Amino acid sequence: MLTDKQILRIPGPTPIPPSVQRAMAQPMIGHRGQSTSDMIRDIRPRLKRVFGTTQEVIILTGSGTAGLEAAVVNTVEPGEEVLVLVTGAFGERFSKICQSYSIQTHIFEVEWGLAVDPEAVKKFLLEHPEITVVFSTFCETSTGVLNPIKELAAAVKEVSTALIVVDGVSCVAGTETEMDNWGIDVVVTGSQKAFMLPAGLSFIAASERAWKKIEANPQPRFYLDLKKHRDNLLIDTTPFTPALSIMFGLQQVLQLLEEEGLDQVYKRHRLMKDMTRAAFGALDIPLLTLDKDASPTVTAAKPTDFDAEKFRKVMKEEFALEVAGGQGPLAKKIFRIGHMGYCSPADMLQAIAAIEIGLVKVGKKIELGKGVAAAQHVYLTEGEKTK
């Protein structure tokens, strides 16, 4: 097989655009020098637009989980009770972080593959007025569900003053995120998904009322103290040495997002999602999620007539094409294909055409080209609007 050729179609880390690689390769600079301040000053307003907020977006050097932990330790005061909505592995991640701080944590879990129901959460909160923070995943990477965050925030606000903290790691920059308009209090994301960067940076924004609580919160923290980060950010610097080369790349990523236009970026992700789902439908591969709950960044399939793990192995061997497996209760039962960030409709046509060959290799009876045709049809209809 042609060496030095990988096709990375997992839901993150995602491929990195060449211009971003080049940007990251520029010579190192001092983190306390003028160049770094200039870079941070340039990044600040541009990052706010992606989050849909007027608040500062903290650039934390750490992976997504560091950002999630920062959200917990900054928003939850000792002795408070919180609610974690669990729709998959990353909802669980939130609850594990809370529990590691001995925070009294209510778990509201829905079957993996389903989205959280805002009305049910509202009902739960009415029965638990003591809850002060609600943690939810936006895109649940482990299932491909995009939780209805806008509706969830509205529902929570009807019955509670609890802060709404959202894990947007695998979808921010790939799907509409209107933090301010939707009334989200904290949004966290990472650099290695729709942001098209290597892992290493986490981005966190907090609402005005969240900042009030953060400033008064006696919960011990140092590196993850968001107030420290914001105070430094406001003067274009960071409290600790940042991952500068990933920040070089971030500037170029923002450039690419602005060149394409955020609305177009979101449309492209929806188009790739619809192409993928149409193809799997045509190939008779059951999807884990309902259309209404499907994330534009990752699609999970739950095969009934072939082995997901064997299929993934074949794809790697035949085409060096990597798709992800299942996690937790879905381990070995599903496979997940990422279509976010540096990924185009043409890339999905390639993935689907290759997948058809993989299906034949694992013994599934399919009509060659049928999945591709379904995706092409979606492109030709929806694609028009997407231009």
Q: Which residues are annotated as a binding site for substrate?
A: 336
Axis crossing angle, helix 345-361 with helix 370-386, rounded to the nearest 10: 170
How many chain residues bind a second copy (CB under 8 A)? 44
The pair of structure tokens assigned to 185 is: 């209090």
* x/- map, 309-338, a second copy, by CB under 8 A: ----------x-x-----------------
Do 64 and 195 touch, CB atoms closer than 8 A?
A: no
Q: Judged by CB under 8 A, which of 149, 179, 250, 349 binds a second copy? A: 349
State the amino acid at position 245 in one-letter form.
S
CB of 374 to a second copy, least distance (A): 8
Cα distances (Å, whole numbers) of residue 124 to 14, 24, 309:
37, 46, 38
Query: From CA 147, how far away is CA 137, in angstroms rounded?
Result: 7
Query: From CA 7, how far away is CA 321, in angstroms rounded?
Result: 4
Q: Of 173, 174, 240, which is closest to residue 205 (Cα–Cα)?
A: 173
E-assigned strand segments in the chain: 7-8, 57-61, 81-86, 104-109, 131-137, 139-140, 145-146, 163-167, 186-190, 201-206, 298-301, 321-322, 324-325, 335-338
Half-sphere exposure (Cβ direction) of 184: Cα atoms closer than 13 Å = 30
Q: Which residue, 18 or 30, is less far from a second copy as judged by CB? A: 18
Q: Judged by CB under 8 A, which of 120, 234, 290, 360 binds a second copy? A: 360
Q: Judged by CB under 8 A, which of 26, 104, 181, 344 binds a second copy? A: 344
Question: Exposure of 269 by Cβ count < 10 A (0-12 exposed, 13-18 middle, 19+ buried)?
Answer: buried
Query: From CA 166, how far away is CA 189, in angstroms rounded?
Result: 9
Q: Which residue, 261 or 328, is less far from a second copy as judged by CB? A: 261
Q: Which residue, 4 or 111, is less far from a second copy as judged by CB? A: 4
* x/- map, 2-41, a second copy, by CB under 8 A: xxxx-x---------xxxx----x----------------
Q: Judged by CB under 8 A, which of 13, 353, 364, 382 binds a second copy? A: 353
Q: Which of residues 220-279 bind a second copy (CB under 8 A)?
A: 256, 259-260, 264, 268
**DSSP state letter for 292:** G
Q: Does residue number 1 form part of the binding site for a second copy (CB under 8 A)?
A: yes
Q: Which residue, 88 or 174, is less far from a second copy as judged by CB? A: 174
CB of 20 to a second copy, least distance (A): 8
Q: Judged by CB under 8 A, which of 35, 329, 367, 381 binds a second copy? A: 367
Q: Judged by CB under 8 A, which of 103, 270, 345, 362 binds a second copy? A: 345
The span of 204-212, 243-251, 305-313, 351-359 binding a second copy (CB under 8 A) equals 351-359
The neighbour count for residue 284, using CB atoms within 10 Å, is 16
Instruction: Please give the residue ranges that form the binding site for a second copy (CB under 8 A).
Output: 1-5, 7, 17-20, 25, 256, 259-260, 264, 268, 319, 321, 342-347, 349-350, 352-354, 356-357, 360, 367-373, 375-377, 379-380
